[in-house]
Amino acid sequence: MAEAKKARKAMIKIKPKKYKVGDTVKVDFIAIHPMDTGMAKDKETGKIKPAHYIEDITFSFDGEPFTKMKVWESISTNPYFSVNYKVTKKGKITVAYKDNQGEEVLKTKKVKPKEA
Amino acid sequence: MFYKLKQKKNNLKKKGKQMERRNFIKSLMMASAAATVATPSMLLANESAKEEAKAAVVKGPNDMPLADAIKAITDGKEVKESDMIKLTVPEIAENGAVVPVKVEVKSPMTDKDHVKSIHILNSKNSNSRCADIMLTPANDKAYFSTRVKLAETQEIIALVALSDGTFMKAGKSIKVTIGGCG
């Protein structure tokens, strides 16, 4: 099956939506990704689907990494990851991942604390 | 006289219907009994078929049993069970493909005293490693949540590395009704 070389979708969510400097927010990252284990068969062709899963994920704020993850094929398809982050100032959170087939995806979300 | 005959007829009809109902219920009971007797053996057959299927399936490149994974992370250091780790997982996972896992560790998350990493491991998938999360004080709280795939009923373990070089862990068992590995 020929796949269009479009960037895979992913989303960063900050919860709660309203926060101030000094608040600790939840940062959710959801990616559309098959996370194939390399052990499952394709139902149509009967052939084993090659392993295709996210390997490394880096969460950064204004370019400074604050969380790094190494994940494996045991993570569910269309993975969801959530961590906390203490808001220090206005800026941008970036989440970048690389998968075992070399695909790289980068997403950005603005951090906009309400004026206290 | 006719009345009595009619009565008799009605009684017979009633009895007939009763017998019909009784037989029907009996057959139902027998069928369900047969079904319950058959199911365990059917399950067993399923299990052995599963085992065969597992053995025949291609092994992944990241296969690593739990003990090896723990050793690789801790380098053989002592790991204590700790109730400072709050591991939240469902007792029963209806869908083994999407099992929510949440880990919270009591920690001040300061430069001097914080959780360096949380390692989510499983006991029965061919690759026991699910995720390694390297945290920093900027997280402010040692918290991580994700969803994992579990091939069968097994344990999820949260192995935590602290900034002082010590390790602790907590584990919980999850019953998986439908395995999640395709």
Give the CATH number of the domain where residue A100 resides.
Answer: 2.60.40.10
- Cα(B162)–Cα(B111) distance, rounded to whole angstroms? 11
Q: Residue B52's pLDDT is what?
A: 46
Q: Which of B58, B135, B180 sits opposite A67 (nearest CB)?
A: B135
A72/B149 CB distance under 8 A: no
What's the predicted TM-score (pTM) here? 0.77
User: Residue A57 domain-assigned?
Assistant: yes
- Count of pairs with CB atoms under 8 A, one residue in A, one in B: 115
Asked if the model's pLDDT at residue A72 lies above 70, the reply is yes
- Is the ipTM here above 0.85? yes
Answer whether residue A50 is part of any domain. yes
Inside any domain, residue A71 = yes
Stretch (H or E) spanning B130: strand B129-134
pLDDT of residue B159: 97
- Considering the domain boundaries, does residue A53 fall inside one? yes
CB contact under 8 A, B97 and A82: no
Structure tokens given for B128: 């026991």
- In a mutational test of the A interface, the residue from B64, B149, B157 whose CB has the highest number of chain A CBs within 10 Å is B149
- Tell the CATH topology of B66-176: Immunoglobulin-like (2.60.40)
Is residue A105, in this structure, part of any structural domain at all? yes
Cβ <8 Å between B131 and A71: yes
Instruction: Give the range of the structural domain holding residue A47, as residue numbers without chain letter.
Output: 24-84+93-111
Give the pLDDT band of residue B54 (cuts 50, 70, 90).
very low
B143 to chain A, any CB pair closer than 8 A? The answer is: yes
Q: What are the residues whose beta carbons fall under 8 Å from the beta carbon of A106, sequence distance 6 or more? A: A94, A95, A96
Asked if the C-beta of B40 comes within 8 angstroms of chain A's C-beta atoms, the answer is: no
Whether A2 is covered by a domain: the verdict is no
Q: How far apart are CA B123 and CA B153, in angstroms?
A: 9
How many domains does chain A divide into? 1
